[in-house]
Amino acid sequence: MAGTIKHTLTRWLPEKLESKFILTAICSILFVGCIGGIVIYQYEKQQMLHFAEIENKKIMQTIGLTFTHIFIYSYINRVHKEEYLESSIRQLMKINKNQIDGIQVFDKTQKLIASNRLADFAKPPYQFPPLKKHDISIISNGPANMSMILPLHTAAKIWGFVKVSFNLTPHLFLIKSLYLKIISGVFVFVLLSAIFSAFVARKLAKPIKALSGAMEAIGPKNFEHELKVDRNDEIGKLQEKFIDLMQRLKLAAKQENKLFKQVMHAEKLAAIGTLTAGVAHEINNPITGMESCLSHLKKKYVQEPSSDRYIKPIEHALAHIKKVVGNLLEYSRKGDYEFSQVQLENIISKALTLVDFRIRKQNIKVNLVSTPSSITGFWDPQYLEQVFLNLFINAIDAMGENGNLTVSSSVENGYAVITVIDSGSGIKNEDIGNIFVPFFTTKTQDKGTGLGLAVSLKIIQDHKGDIQVVSTSDVGTIFTVSLPLTKE
């Protein structure tokens, strides 16, 4: 049964929060308005009846005083009081025709002696209820009338009794008018409250709808929204939390995309490494044989005038092939690192020393910025020298003559951050995503094999670090190397 009622209520209740709020507010206001109206009506009704009772008692006292004087006057002058009483009754009924329905006068033995209605004399004797000795007694209080009895007395003597029936119709008319006013007031109050509730509900629902719309617009790859914090209440805090969540999700999506690219790149490098290892070994053995044969040829034909013309190019070509094969083997094999506590300054200085001749030859200005000797880390110095040597060579090749090479280092969040900035021609946007791919190069054939940056990235990643690059065409390139200060 309870489940059926709940199902029925759920079925008929509106689904939207705004409609639920308006319906709840209207029901609450209607309930409060009805209860308030009933309370006000009952209070005002009691006040009106109480006022009518007070007013009727005043009239009763006036009537009682008049009839008491008549009783005393007739007693002193020995005249019949009935004529005076009936005359007074007619006058009182005329004066108070809208308030009094009937006046009856009894003597001290409770016998009816005067009345505004002759039919009262034909009725059985009126049975008096218990009365107050010298005060007004309310003996009947019906829906439309009120009856009172007052003893007619002086200080020590009761002369008789007067019974007056008051008409409450004028007061009931006022009560009915009040009832209609209260009903109208409650209706207007509920109507205005409903309008106000609808306005408040719309005002409250607007940011919630905006938040809901922003949530619906969010997709797996879309974290953009136009939501703004425009409140200082709980909804405003919810907006702040949502915006903060979207920013974190957006950052997480970027990091996920970056990690995915790194994983794909690592898988590509691993596949290329496996392939190149086999190729390099296959090429290396014939090269060794060719070098041996060339050595014998040099000894045998050393006196021949044309020996230099043919043998030297062959030597140069074999040396180039051997260098490429050596780089391939270096790239493909897992690094056998020897980590130790070393100073970053020494590594950078040794790498710069190896390119000092080219720096002087091309008149390149080297700027060392903030390279304190206190930066030390748990690294392999030989491999890191190779990394920075590759970066310096690439920078020198990109700049030509009269360039500027800036090398700076700092410590950030437990990492040594080394920045290599050149003033060269920069890297094209379409090429910057491939510079760490093996065998990709923009240099001429005699200057590069396309393995330098790939090997450098592998070395840095083996040190649990990273290399980032930013380049602007015709302005220069910035390589940023991050290395953890401790071995993880």
> Can you say whether the dihedral through the CA atoms of 112, 116, 119, 120 is positive or negative?
negative
Strand partners, 410: 417
- Please, which residues have CB within 8 angstroms of residue 256's CB and are 6 or more apart in sequence? none
> Can you say whether the dihedral through the CA atoms of 460, 465, 471, 476 is positive or negative?
negative
SS3 at position 324: helix
DSSP 334: P
pLDDT of 291 higher than 80:
no
- Residue 129 sits at the vertex; the CA angle it makes with 126 and 135, to the nearest 5 degrees, is 110
pLDDT of 124 higher than 80:
yes
* Distance from C-alpha of 164 to C-alpha of 146, rounded to nearest angstrom: 8
Q: What is the pLDDT of residue 161?
A: 92
pLDDT of 338 higher than 80:
yes
Average pLDDT, the chain: 78
% the chain with pLDDT above 90: 8
* Distance from C-alpha of 245 to C-alpha of 247, rounded to nearest angstrom: 5
What tokens does 51 get?
């006022």
Q: Among 78-92, 183-197, 210-224, which stretch is predicted with the lowest mean pLDDT?
A: 210-224
Chain region(s) in the chain for CATH 3.30.450.20 = 14-177
The residue-averaged pLDDT of 232-236 equals 70
| Top mean-pLDDT range of 220-229, 249-258, 301-310, 385-394 | 385-394
Residue range 337-488 forms a domain whose CATH class is alpha beta
Q: Burial-class residue 465 by CB neighbours within 10 Å (0-12, 13-18, 19+).
A: buried
- Please, which residues have CB within 8 angstroms of residue 76's CB and are 6 or more apart in sequence? none
Q: What is the pLDDT of residue 401?
A: 87
Strand partners, 365: 404
* Distance from C-alpha of 469 to C-alpha of 467, rounded to nearest angstrom: 7
Chain region(s) in the chain for CATH 3.30.565.10 = 337-488
Q: Among 219-228, 433-442, 448-457, which stretch is predicted with the lowest mean pLDDT?
A: 219-228
Contact between residue 206 and residue 16 where contact means Cβ atoms under 8 Å apart: no
Q: Among 54-58, 290-294, 366-370, which stretch is predicted with the lowest mean pLDDT?
A: 290-294
Pick from 117, 122, 87, 83: nearest CA to 100: 117
* Distance from C-alpha of 435 to C-alpha of 477, rounded to nearest angstrom: 12
Q: Among 113-117, 227-231, 252-256, 301-305, which stretch is predicted with the lowest mean pLDDT?
A: 301-305
- Please, which residues have CB within 8 angstroms of residue 322's CB and are 6 or more apart in sequence? 284, 287, 291
Contact between residue 441 and residue 450 where contact means Cβ atoms under 8 Å apart: yes
What tokens does 194 get?
């409903």
Q: What is the pLDDT of residue 240?
A: 75
Q: What is the pLDDT of residue 386?
A: 86
Q: What is the pLDDT of residue 140?
A: 74
Q: What is the pLDDT of residue 478?
A: 92
| Top mean-pLDDT range of 154-168, 204-218, 435-449 | 154-168
Over the stretch 151-207, which tens digit does the pLDDT of each residue have? 988 877 888 899 999 888 887 788 888 888 888 888 888 888 878 877 777 777 676
pLDDT of 242 higher than 80:
no
Secondary-structure breakdown of the chain: helix, strand, coil percentages, each rounded to the nearest 5: 60, 15, 25
* Distance from C-alpha of 184 to C-alpha of 188, rounded to nearest angstrom: 6
> For residue 30, how many other CB atoms are within 10 A of its CB?
16
pLDDT-based confidence at residue 292 (cuts at 50, 70, 90): confident
Q: What is the pLDDT of residue 218?
A: 66
| pTM of the shown model | 0.41
| Top mean-pLDDT range of 17-26, 335-344, 363-372, 464-473 | 464-473
In terms of DSSP bridges, do strands 404-412 and 365-369 run parallel, antiparallel, or are they unpaired? parallel
Contact between residue 94 and residue 149 where contact means Cβ atoms under 8 Å apart: no
Q: Among 95-109, 254-268, 354-368, 421-435, which stretch is predicted with the lowest mean pLDDT?
A: 254-268
pLDDT-based confidence at residue 266 (cuts at 50, 70, 90): low
305 or 318, which is more confident: 318
pLDDT of 306 higher than 70:
no
* Distance from C-alpha of 176 to C-alpha of 348, rounded to nearest angstrom: 103
Contact between residue 437 and residue 271 where contact means Cβ atoms under 8 Å apart: no
CA dihedral angle for residue 387, residue 388, residue 390, residue 393, rounded to 10 degrees: 180
Contact between residue 111 and residue 123 where contact means Cβ atoms under 8 Å apart: no
pLDDT of 1 higher than 80:
no
pLDDT of 480 higher than 90:
yes
Residue identified by tokens 């009182």 is 92
The residue-averaged pLDDT of 321-332 equals 62
Q: What is the pLDDT of residue 417?
A: 93
> For residue 238, how many other CB atoms are within 10 A of its CB?
15
Strand partners, 299: none
pLDDT-based confidence at residue 223 (cuts at 50, 70, 90): low
119 or 452, which is more confident: 119
* CATH number, domain 14-177: 3.30.450.20
Contact between residue 185 and residue 37 where contact means Cβ atoms under 8 Å apart: yes
> For residue 350, how many other CB atoms are within 10 A of its CB?
15
Pick from 432, 443, 428, 419: nearest CA to 475: 428
Over the stretch 373-432, which tens digit does the pLDDT of each residue have? 578 889 988 889 888 988 998 888 888 888 999 999 998 888 999 999 999 888 888 887
